[in-house]
Amino acid sequence: MAPAPAVQKLTITTVLSLFNPGGLYLVAYGFLFGMSLWISFFGGVIAYKTLPRAQFGALQHKTFPIYFVLSLGLASTLLGLWTLNHPDVRTHYANPLVADVAQAYTLGLVLLAQGSNYFIVGPLTSKTMFERMKLEKDEGKSYNEAGVSDNMKALNRRFGMLHGISSLANLGAVLALGFHGLWIGNFGLKA
């Protein structure tokens, strides 16, 4: 019978040793993935079901830029650390079939998706939402009532298209983060 492994004791040294690049990487990843799941599938749904539409829109207008900036900062940090700690990324950067390169591309996809949402799609969506709100006030009709103007119908189509693009980009980022989490959960952080 093999001897029982030694019991690890919690000391100041072991606690301080937790603050290393690998530990910090996992905390940053967990924060980013958890935030992405919450914003995408829980917080927004709860707010939509709870708040009047105008308040919901105002909340989203304030929340999403912060979410996208945090996503960009954390994903950039993860990509930088991944690239530094996995030399295969630098030597085989053009070959996405190399596992470490595929993970770098995955994190790059998060940056691309959330960057496009922050810099392009999000502002256009908000602008369209506020134009639609103003037109509702001017016309005295909700955007989804029968007999709205052609301008309102055009704004509805534009808003729907932009919201769809934003949602797909965000879903792509969430799926990429899920894939990365499964990877590091199975294969770890080491090169």
pLDDT tens digit sequence for 131-189: 999 999 999 999 998 999 999 999 999 999 999 999 999 999 999 999 999 999 999 99
Q: How far apart are CA 14 and CA 82, in angstroms?
A: 24
> 3 lies in a domain?
no
- Per the structure, the count of domains in the chain is 1
> 51 lies in a domain?
yes
Domain that holds residue 101: 22-187
Q: Which helix (H) or strand (E) holds 28?
A: helix 21-37
pTM of this prediction?
0.91
> pLDDT tens-digit profile of 69-117?
999 999 999 999 999 999 999 999 999 999 999 999 999 999 999 999 9
DSSP code of 92? S
Planar angle of CA 53, 56, 57, nearest 5 degrees: 85
> 8 lies in a domain?
no
